[in-house]
Structure 1
Amino acid sequence: MDVTPIPLGSWPTPLEPAPRLAAALGLDELWIKRDDLTGLGGGGNKVRKLQYTCAEAVRAGATRLVTTGAAQSNHARLTAAAAARLGLGCTLVLRGEPPATVRGNLILDELAGASVVWAGTDPLDEVAAAQDGYVIPFGGTSPVSARGYVDCAQELLTQLPDLATVVVALGSGGTMAGLVAHLGPHRVYGVDTGALPDPRATVGALLDGMGVKADPAELQIDEAHVGAGYAALTDPVRSALVLAARTEGLFLDPTYTGRALAGLRATPPDGKVVFLHSGGLPGLFGHPALG
């Protein structure tokens, strides 16, 4: 089914050189794809996906969006912002219990007018299905929404035609799947964040749903930086946050881009490397280890 995306962001996002960070990592050449500057609601990679999922929702006659995530979900924050932009209601089903202090993305969810339902230990999908509204899947990821990162890959090839590797955080899988669909598995290096039980199978299934034939065994996925789990901050990730800030004035988040940079630092590839900055800065202010 063809879906025409609803414009929600500012495109193309910049591609910036990072020579001091490249030198610190031992790379020949490093570029930062600034998908933290997508415009809507504080920016981030989810905007590209929401252009497609919101188009599906509007076509279905939705008046309210419903989605799920962790307490500091960037996807939840941007779904709330997209709903506000489109004049729709928004319900966010978040894992766990209400925190004693509202911080980070939760402040922005509230500002955008979203209603928050705390799921406790109940399955998020079941709680979301019980809400009134159009349900956008976890992370906004589906074979349709992953096309947003086919769009990004096309931008990248216009900006840097001879790029060798794109390094990206692997959360719900759609960002990596879209990049692989257009660039191929050998030019995309995903760093697992611990959001999925089997990231390789998930990315493979997304590619299959997009009609792209790819062997999941060929996907480049680094699973060495999950640590104690999705919400945990590891020492290599903390070090990566400091390195990016002190070489390029580039602020990363502890769950996604911090892990991606830790993975790049541990396994630096040859050639022209693109680091996809997928956003997430508000989560930095809500992370328990950094509060």
Structure 2
Amino acid sequence: MNIKQRLAAIEKIDLLQGPTPLTKLNNLSEYLGRDIYIKRDDMTPLAMGGNKLRKLEYLIADVVQKKAKVVVTAGAIQSNHVRQTAAIASMYGLECVALLENPLQSSNPLFLNNGNKQLTDLFNTRCYLCDELTDPYAQMQALVKSLNLQDAYIVPIGGSNALGSLGYVNCALEIAEQKPKDIEFAAVIVASGSAGTHAGLAMGLQSVLPQTPVIGVTVSRTVAQQQPKIEALQQELGELLNMAVFPKVNLWDQYFLPCYGKPNNKGQQAIELLAQKEGILLDPVYTAKAMSGLIDHILKESIDGNQPLLFIHTGGAPAIFAYSEINVATIK
């Protein structure tokens, strides 16, 4: 049984309604002197798009199968995952409860109420604030108990358990079908946070494009902190899909500082560059930092070979409207 057959045997709900685009960034490629392609998972068809929809295809199928009435999840105030989970809960007539942290300890009304948070509220989510998500699953369990929620289903941060990560095993198969037949990608670059997108892509591409490494650009942790999360998810995916060989974990951790959720200068420059060269919006928390890593390594000529690179756009543009730190400068 091949990987496609194994995936087909696991229940999911079709929320994507077809593949997302994979296209060449012609202007950026010319500007940087290396061919760059982009996978547009910011264009998934719900709640202003994003990568979590692929994970939620499997997770919501499990929610429905278990006849849950309440979906409980967690994230930062500007969480893309919470926004998309809340939207799908609305679609399926489920109550959504979210436990939110303020990673910046910001009191800025723009950050607290705009962007993803505004959309999450629009989906009628019951939001509860905590000082910090130190043990999210245990904290969500405690919230379920304190609210006396019946028939509740806990969705992990980022949808990043083995079940949710299957969405990006599927994405890897999509990439193999969509890529131009006459090229091989030198690497696939993606933001690496809750780790499910990274782990799923790496496992899927190992099966269908084994010469193509996945490089995760960390958005909140050092390599030493992030690598075990990805390896653990790969092990769980291996058990689920009957795979015994695991890809090497590749990470860049130079681009997330000063901390998770706070924009930095290189990320802002990446936002401006993509907007002004391609008309594509990145977000300051995930994709801007990942793209800044890609740009930096191209300029340093530190990615082996001269084959094209593929950037996974995981979405998140609504967060732009919550950050007053985003400045605009003209790219020369």
Shorter-chain TM-score: which interval? over 0.9
CA distance in structure 1 between the partners assigned to 2:123 and 2:277 by the alignment: 34
1:189 aligns with 2:215: yes
Match for 1:267 among 297, 307, 324?
A: 297
Offset of residue 280 of structure 1: 0.1
CA distance in structure 2 between the partners assigned to 1:163 and 1:278 by the alignment: 21
One-letter amino acid matched to 1:183 = L
Q: Is the 8 A contact 2:221 2:253 kept in 1?
A: no
CA distance in structure 1 between the partners assigned to 2:32 and 2:322 by the alignment: 28
Q: Secondary structure at the match of 1:109?
A: helix
CA distance in structure 2 between the partners assigned to 1:200 and 1:288 by the alignment: 32
Q: 1:183 to 1:65 in 2, by over 3 A?
A: same
Map of 2:201 onto structure 1: 179
Alignment coverage as a number of residue pairs? 289
Match for 1:198 among 220, 225, 231?
A: 225
CA distance in structure 2 between the partners assigned to 1:63 and 1:177 by the alignment: 29
Offset of residue 122 of structure 1: 6.2
Offset of residue 71 of structure 1: 0.5
Q: Is the 8 A contact 1:207 1:213 kept in 2?
A: no
Q: Is the 8 A contact 2:20 2:44 kept in 1?
A: yes
Map of 2:15 onto structure 1: 8
CA distance in structure 2 between the partners assigned to 1:100 and 1:289 by the alignment: 11
One-letter amino acid matched to 1:188 = V
CA distance in structure 2 between the partners assigned to 1:266 and 1:100 by the alignment: 31
Offset of residue 145 of structure 1: 1.0
CA distance in structure 1 between the partners assigned to 2:250 and 2:221 by the alignment: 17
Offset of residue 11 of structure 1: 1.7
TM-score, length-scaled by structure 1: 0.93
Match for 2:282 among 252, 264, 267?
A: 252
Q: Secondary structure at the match of 2:74?
A: strand
CA distance in structure 2 between the partners assigned to 1:261 and 1:15 by the alignment: 16
Q: Secondary structure at the match of 1:82?
A: helix
Q: Secondary structure at the match of 1:276?
A: strand
Q: Is the 8 A contact 1:104 1:286 kept in 2?
A: yes
Map of 2:323 onto structure 1: 287
Q: Once structures 1 and 2 are overlaid, which stretch shifts more, 42-51 or 53-62?
A: 53-62
One-letter amino acid matched to 1:267 = H
Offset of residue 113 of structure 1: 1.2
Map of 1:238 onto structure 2: 268
CA distance in structure 2 between the partners assigned to 1:98 and 1:285 by the alignment: 15
Written as runs of structure 1 = structure 2, the 5 A alignment for 1:110-189 is 110-121=121-132, 123=134, 124-129=136-141, 130-131=143-144, 132=149, 133-160=152-179, 161=181, 162-164=183-185, 165-184=187-206, 186-189=212-215
Q: Is the 8 A contact 2:43 2:49 kept in 1?
A: yes
Q: Is the 8 A contact 1:207 1:214 kept in 2?
A: no
Structure 2 unaligned runs (5+)? 1-5, 328-332
CA distance in structure 2 between the partners assigned to 1:127 and 1:182 by the alignment: 32
Structure 1 unaligned runs (5+)? none
Q: Is the 8 A contact 1:241 1:251 kept in 2?
A: yes
Of all paired residues, the percent bearing the same amino acid is: 34
When Rg is computed on C-alpha atoms for both structures, the one with the higher figure is 2
CA distance in structure 1 between the partners assigned to 2:98 and 2:56 by the alignment: 15
Q: Once structures 1 and 2 are overlaid, which stretch shifts more, 124-133 or 30-39?
A: 124-133
Offset of residue 288 of structure 1: 4.8
Map of 2:3 onto structure 1: none
Offset of residue 226 of structure 1: 1.4
One-letter amino acid matched to 1:108 = L
Offset of residue 19 of structure 1: 1.0
Written as runs of structure 1 = structure 2, the 5 A alignment for 1:81-96 is 81-96=87-102
Q: Is the 8 A contact 1:149 1:179 kept in 2?
A: yes
1:54 aligns with 2:60: yes
One-letter amino acid matched to 1:170 = S
Q: Secondary structure at the match of 1:62?
A: coil
CA distance in structure 2 between the partners assigned to 1:182 and 1:246 by the alignment: 33
Report the aligned-residue RMSD: 2.1
One-letter amino acid matched to 1:193 = V
TM-score, length-scaled by structure 2: 0.82
Q: Secondary structure at the match of 2:50?
A: coil
